[in-house]
Amino acid sequence: MALVAHIAELAEKHKLLERRIEEAVSRPGSDDLEIHRMKLEKLKLKDEIARLSGSETRH
């Protein structure tokens, strides 16, 4: 069950990061480097969720 909770926590962080990216992109004069960093972090979260979800089904 701890794995399911961890995946849910990562998914929530992913969703929050998506909102922050959308807000940053919509602001004039936003920092492109910061947006890029957030997108990379979001991708890492997505990959980690996929990896953990795959291991969950194998148990």
pLDDT for res 55? 79
What is the spatial distance between Cα 20 and Cα 54, in angstroms, rounded to a whole number? Answer: 27
Give the Cα separation of 26 and 29 in Å (integer). 9
Q: What is the pTM of this model?
A: 0.85
Identify the pLDDT of residue 59: 55
The per-residue pLDDT for range 3-44, each reduced to its tens digit, is: 999 999 999 999 999 999 999 999 999 999 999 999 999 999
Q: Scanning the structure block, which residue is given the tokens 């909770």?
A: 5
The pLDDT value recorded for residue 56 is 67
Residue 5 identity (one-letter amino acid): A
